[in-house]
Amino acid sequence: MTNNVNEERPNETVTERGRGTTLAQLNLPGTAVRRRALPEQVRDSIAELLISDLRPGDVLPTETAVAEWLMVSRSTVREAMKLLEQEGLVETRRGMGRFATALSGLRPERPMTRFESITNMMSELGYHPTTEVISVVQRVPSSDEVETFGLSSDMLVIETRRLRLLDDKACVYSVNVLDPRTLDAEVDDVEWNGSVVTILEGMDHEIVASSAHISVVTEPTGVDALVNVELPEGPWLLVTEQCVTRTGRCVLLSRDYHLGGIFSFSVVRRRNDAVEPAGNG
């Protein structure tokens, strides 16, 4: 059995072989396969199975079956299963196997816990916005930015301000602050019309997680207030994020204002004491 065949053939679609339950036409994009840890890829694939074909209380395929379907080793599948157990989506019953939990039956449409760029989010929602770059400046960092990025006193941060427009109407206003050491090009040579997350990823600074604070505001104020730019009437959903790479390094601070009525997010909530085992009455 070949381990990690998907890395050699990243665009291959993996399908189930000869069972009644399908593995959901899993298609792992080449960039994701190359850049993300294999157990995380397998975890996402099994999660797709939970969403598309299984219900709470259903038994999961064995490690051997999943390893064969996805062409990876059993140890990789075992690591992926542990991730799902940590998230409460899968439980192990001694001598019986692994089962989908009650939590796996909850399917938030756009989970707030999922990190994604605004460009990707809008694309998946079916929107095709245009981008207007308001400003790109190098400025003296605040004391919080110095501490967060670990900057020396003589360094300047890079701040971008951009609008995403639908039918010439602003629907997202983004303020991004970058650690200047992340760029391997001059600021003026970067195409800021695209996703900042993708720009950083192309410079070997892949963002894998963020700490986010969400609030509702009537309009951008204070340091984020716009001069000579009229925004639609709110409310606006403000998502303030501190974005980190796999090593835990913060490379981006963002404040994204989403126009209410266009965007919404969802969460799954559970008790802290435990998730009740599925299928036990």
What residues form DSSP beta bridges with 241? 212, 254
Any idea what the Cα angle at residue 236 is, between residues 231 and 238, rounded to 5°?
A: 120
Residue 108: the pLDDT is 54
Block mean pLDDT (10 aa), the chain, length 281: 36 32 38 57 82 83 90 91 85 89 65 69 79 95 95 94 91 95 92 92 91 93 91 92 93 95 70 50 42
Contact by Cβ (8 Å): 71, 64: no
CB 34 within 8 A of CB 7: yes
Strand partners, 216: 237
Give me the pLDDT at residue 259, please.
Answer: 92
β-strand partners of 97: 93
Task: Report the chain's C-alpha Rg in angstroms.
Answer: 22
Can you give the pLDDT at residue 262?
81
pLDDT at 26: 39
Give ∠ CA 215-217-222 in degrees, rounded to 5.
105
Structural domains of the chain, ranges and CATH numbers in brackets: 5-105 (1.10.10.10), 118-259 (3.40.1410.10)
d(CA 204, CA 33): 15
Q: At what angle do helices 63-70 and 74-86 cross, to 10 degrees?
A: 110
Q: What are phi and psi of 35, to 5 degrees?
A: -100, -25
CA–CA dist 49, 110 (Å, integer): 18
Given a contact cutoff of 8 angstroms between Cβ atoms, the answer to whether 96 and 268 are in contact is no
Distance CA 97, CA 91 (A): 9
**pTM exceeds 0.85 for this model:** no
**CB-CB contact of 143 with 162 (8 Å):** no
Q: What is the pLDDT of residue 41?
A: 83
How many Å apart are CA 120 and CA 136, to the nearest integer? Answer: 22
Q: Which two tokens stand for residue 53?
A: 């074909």
Rounded to 5°, the CA angle 240-246-247 comes to: 105
Q: Would you state the pLDDT for residue 120?
A: 75
